[in-house]
Structure 1
């Protein structure tokens, strides 16, 4: 069929969008109302293929589930036989690059796919050809499509299941499908194997011929390995078990339930992307949100441990990408430093000073950030009596030349008057901005009086 062909006086072919072993899918316009739909018809003429195509229709009609593609209309008497489905702009196969960049989206799509396959199993069927291209996105949800190779587990007697044929897509075939008669004996665990391969592709945007598990988060790597075991008896035995495994991983990464694990996962992802020269603003935003969870910020030791592990490359971009979150974060950080700094070794002052120098240098037109960086460095340098950290503090103070920056820095020094009084004479008065110089003079005059 070519564009312009009218199928059964009802559907005008607009474009061929896919072609399989026996079926072709076209984008079509419904003549009655102009609605865009997908029409799949059998392009083979032999009796066996037509029987197989009608069997696909029969299987799909028995399934009514939000994550299984529905049949809107059908005609098995028309030549060629066809059925009508909602038109899907994309398959998950075309979204794998996007999924690989957003783990949450990948997992959400995968779980919806699992629900569709679970419904197929509940109806007593096995799909046998699960892959990203057979998971369509219709109205924002993932639906399982192409039941052309599906079979009833206990009562199928089609030519495909009677013969020794190997059916499925090469990259996703389970080991048992590769043996003579293996496709005939496939069961739900075969679909689970193919789901494991599909999850790998969602997460990596790589074909699953050889799976490199170093590219997958460890928790999900475990689930994929188990789903794709050589021996079906060693895999998850039901879709529900696979869903539970993935959801357990999600819960472990839930910042509210397990902030340390969630932070670790985000940090590893950010570092891996930095090594590839990549940066995703939403990853960093999630990391900052995790740091600011009440359960984290109220436990200052845990907060500092997490903050100290944020790479300098990430700190350097925060003033531009997340200025408001950074301001709030640094206020918590200064409080944590005040409370905990003396519980650290003396050299910890340099760790604080280096991080604050990175932020100070990147702060640009955010005076409050500059003030907070100086405040944190001042507390650490004085309380741990580290001259290297004091040198960093002094370099920041002498770099303040803008009026707004100077006012913010003065406010920060005012909050730490005792600490600043002890070191304020290290910089000659003329090397300081007038706003800071006046505070220095005030502190010295109070002491002399």
Structure 2
């Protein structure tokens, strides 16, 4: 077990005493947190359980945005846990006034990702404030889980009704009534108050004066700090997405087709980075059926080939998404576009058997279901070019499994010299 030597007590810690210390095993400087002397540390006492709960919950939350616990001993008469030394707190940073907008939003969004994770693990913080947001290793992290609660806990012994906890300027109104019964929306309230403080440089007490914010932030801030929990954002993710949306560059919030066409033009002009960005956009927009169906068939051979080479797994996901949207009936002209796209995908996917097989299967299905001679020509042309034994076997298999389809494709296929397995499937 690691051994430590205390150096000096430092401010902070909420319900605990914080000391700078040295880890004698490594020589690293750390921060150690002990319960305050005035607290009752008798086994089973409320104060001891609160301290132990803070250490255990914080140690279980494994996220880059949550202060890690590197050692703890909860069995000794005066328990403790140790953490890395932070460079400072958001409270320290705010002493010089408001934070520039871009930086402030970046800080809040980073913290929201960590808070979203904590909520997913069933942990509410209930004491979010600038003093508990610390700068560690180049990023902001949430610390001091002394007043946290497990959402699924039925315990009422730690927090009794009418016992307010948290720091007044950032605390949700319902915490004054019954801090045990608060939900995720209490932490959202606190983050809204912190957002206000970052942008205005003013402590939001006795209340946040929303009119002092830039107009684009007034709605999101007012939703966060609404008096009634039901009027706030109901999840951290909802709050985060709204904040990301209103602060995103215009190019990122443009209609996806506009953005995709801009990226395609840049990629065709030699901007290789735009190829990857375009593929990311297609994957991020995979639930937008209209966009995927309109734009994907326009991808030229050279971009598909580069996508397949640079990001084969993402390329496969993109092709499979379009394959799903290609199911069903289509106008004849669009059926031809589908066939052409999968022919190009087949050419691009030299090293991806799944993509080749998805492409061959979809071309055949589209040709047969739409009775399209053009698609029959595309299918037979691509089949005649196959050389890999697994591809030849796959085509023979899908022809055998679909006698009607094989019957439709036979006149087109017999115009080419074909491998024997495929010829046998046509008999």
Deviation at 1:162, TM superposition (A): 4.7
Task: Tell me the C-alpha RMSD between the 2 structures.
Answer: 2.1
CA distance in 2, matches of 1:226, 1:149: 24
Shift in Å at residue 45 of structure 1?
3.4
Q: Secondary structure at the match of 2:34?
A: strand
1:214 aligned residue (211, 214, 233): 211
**1:36 lines up with 2:21 in the alignment:** no
CA distance in 2, matches of 1:211, 1:174: 12
1:74 match: 72
State the match for 2:244 in structure 1: 247
Deviates further, 159-168 or 200-209 = 159-168
- 3-state SS in 2 of match to 1:56: helix
Distance between the aligned counterparts of 2:104 and 2:97, measured in 1? 5
2:145 equivalent among 144, 147, 157:
147
What TM-score do the two structures reach when normalised by structure 2? 0.55
| Aligned partner of residue 161 in structure 1, secondary structure | coil
- Contact 1:96-1:203 within 8 A present in 2 as well: no
Q: Secondary structure at the match of 1:142?
A: strand
Decide whether aligned partners of structure 1 residues 226 and 87 sit closer, same or farther in structure 2, where only a CA change above 3 A counts.
same
In structure 2, the partner of 1:45 is 40
1:236: how far off?
0.2
Among 5, 16, 20, the alignment partner of 1:23 is 16
CA–CA separation in structure 2 for the residues paired with 1:256 and 1:100: 27
How far does the alpha carbon of each residue in 1:356-377 deviate from its partner, in whole angstroms, 9 at most, with x for none?
A: xxxxxxxxxxxxxxxxxxxxxx
Can you give the 5+ residue segments of structure 1 that lack an aligned partner in the other structure? 1-7, 260-449
Unaligned regions of 5+ residues in structure 2, if any? 255-427
- Decide which of 224, 230, 237 is 2:234's aligned counterpart: 237
Task: Name the residue aligned to 1:185.
Answer: 181
> Aligned pair 1:194/2:187, yes or no?
no
Q: Distance in 2 between matches of 1:257 and 1:125?
A: 33
The Cα of 1:18 is off from its aligned counterpart by 2.5
TM-superposed CA distance for 1:184, in Å, is: 1.0
The correspondence for 2:93, drawn from 92, 95, 112, is 95
> Per the alignment, do residues 144 and 161 of structure 1 end up closer, same or farther by CA in structure 2, a change over 3 Å counting?
same
Change (3 A) 1:14 1:89: farther
Q: CA separation in 2, counterparts of 1:36 and 1:203? A: 33
Render the CA deviation track for 1:404-427: whole Å, top value 9, x for unaligned. xxxxxxxxxxxxxxxxxxxxxxxx
Q: CA deviation at 1:32?
A: 2.1
SS at match of 1:183: helix
Give the 3-state SS of the residue equivalent to 2:18 in structure 1.
strand
**Cα distance between partner residues in 2 of 1:97 and 1:111:** 21
1:53-64 to 2 correspondence within 5 Å?
Answer: 53-64=51-62
1:214 deviation in Å? 3.3
Name the CA shift for 1:9/1:191 in 2 (closer, same or farther; >3 Å).
closer
Q: Name the SS for the 2:180 alignment partner.
A: coil
C-alpha change, 1:190 and 1:58, in structure 2 (3 Å) is: same
CA distance in 2, matches of 1:177, 1:255: 39
Q: For the structure 1 residues 176 and 40, does the alpha-carbon distance in structure 2 shift closer, same or farther, using more than 3 Å as the test?
A: same
The CA distance in 2 between the partners of 1:161 and 1:24, in whole Å, is 21
